[in-house]
Amino acid sequence: MPRFAYLTRAVWLLALISLFTDLASEMLYPVMPLYLQSIGFSVFFIGLLEGVAEAVAGLSKGYFGQWSDRLGRRVPFVQWGYGLSALSKPMLAVLATPAWVLLARTVDRLGKGLRTGARDALLSDEATPSTKGKVFGFHRSMDTLGAVLGPLAALGWLAAHPGQYRPLFLWAFVPGVVAVVITFALREQRAVLSGRPVVPFWASLGYWRQAPPAYRRVVGGLLVFALFNSSDAFLLLLARQRGLPAPTIIGLYILYNLTYVLSAWPMGHLADRLGPRRLLVGGLLVFASVYGGVVLAHDLGAFGALFALYGLYAAATEGVGKAWVSTLCAKADTGAALGTFAGLSSLAALVASTGAGLLWQWYGPLPTFGLTAAVALAVAAYLARVRLGMGRD
């Protein structure tokens, strides 16, 4: 069997789609908190905005994931989801009012919710149990390559046009459209029908009740962590508070994503070799080190080292976590299982980001980051010992 046989046509197409979509999104992500703060938005509102947007994505991920399972269709959900995300980019250039910014972010996250369960199910269907870590790791690497190119494009624009944020929202529309065009090259392979009725939108996370115990144990631990893991925007805001200029902050975000893109695929290989449990636990320990150390950082060297470590944490957890969760459910329920996991995580992000914004506003960054580091250590200890079953860790 060829060494890279697991990189099928569908895996490559989904990786390229994610690359161009992340290029579009990440042109804006590191700029967004700086832009909103520059026009008078508080840290609390920025956290609330990110939390509400992720909550919308959360509810829709579980709902559309189970729709995908019920219909045995994946590609239409992928196409419409990436289309909505592309549409949201030029919306941000129209107005800078809180309601409009919230609407644009909601459209973007609704698109993410529409596509995530179906896309991850497509990736899972293309892999075997022994290659899932590599497939998801490769996808995360390509996705994050877009997250390197996007901030580089933003950095180049701001270097030539200091302070001119709004035109970036229009430029970001271009790679978004490219991603949508590529989705039409995907071919539907009818999936196994789940046989379950689709529950109402507000009950779309009902898969949890039917999920195997191993799924609930692992996802439960990860959700506790998600309840305290606030948006990365707070790391960028802390760097700004410590006096680093906007171009330097974007450079730090590029360093984070570059470390991520270089590490995600090797981490996937390690997950297949050592088991995802070890990678996730190690990643959470790295996360705790970053959040424990960032409150002590005051210069570029310290922030640079911590942002690079943060990229290693992301590479060791995000794709690996999905690969692990996808082994804890029946194949016919993969869309609902991954969609519910992503959905509940996004709902937890609403609590995490809103709570972090309030905690920062009342007490400053030290307790905000310190509490999150402590919870990460506790969850790492739990996942290291939780009992699952043969072949599932």
CA dist 174 and 35 (Å) reads: 21
Instruction: For residue 31, give Cα distances in angstroms to 141, 220, 349.
Output: 22, 33, 20
What is the residue range of 74's domain? 9-385
Tens digit of each residue's pLDDT, the chain (393 residues): 466 667 788 889 999 999 999 898 888 877 777 777 776 777 777 777 777 777 777 677 767 777 777 777 888 888 999 999 998 888 877 766 777 887 888 888 889 888 887 888 888 877 777 777 778 778 877 887 887 888 888 888 887 887 777 788 888 889 999 999 999 998 877 655 555 555 555 545 567 777 888 888 888 899 999 999 887 888 888 888 888 887 888 888 889 988 887 887 787 777 778 777 888 899 999 999 999 988 888 889 899 999 999 999 988 887 777 777 877 777 777 767 776 787 788 778 778 888 888 888 888 888 888 899 999 999 999 998 887 654 455
106 Rama class: left (phi>0) / alpha (psi -120 to 50) / beta: alpha
The SS3 assignment for 389 reads coil
CA dist 364 and 322 (Å) reads: 33
Q: What is the pLDDT of residue 150?
A: 87
CA dist 46 and 331 (Å) reads: 38
List the structure tokens of 145.
């390559």
Residue 391, in any domain of the structure: no
Q: What count of other Cβ atoms lies within 10 Å of the Cβ of residue 164?
A: 10
Residue 393, in any domain of the structure: no
Residue 278, in any domain of the structure: yes
Domain count, the chain: 1
Residue 13, in any domain of the structure: yes
Residue 125, in any domain of the structure: yes
Residue 315, in any domain of the structure: yes
Q: What is the pLDDT of residue 380?
A: 93
Instruction: For residue 239, give Cα distances in angstroms to 174, 291, 299, 307.
Output: 30, 13, 9, 11
Instruction: For residue 323, give Cα distances in angstroms to 18, 123, 194, 360.
Output: 17, 10, 20, 34
Residue 145, in any domain of the structure: yes
What is the pTM (predicted TM-score) of this model?
Answer: 0.72
CATH number at residue 111: 1.20.1250.20
Q: What is the pLDDT of residue 225?
A: 93
Residue 4, in any domain of the structure: no
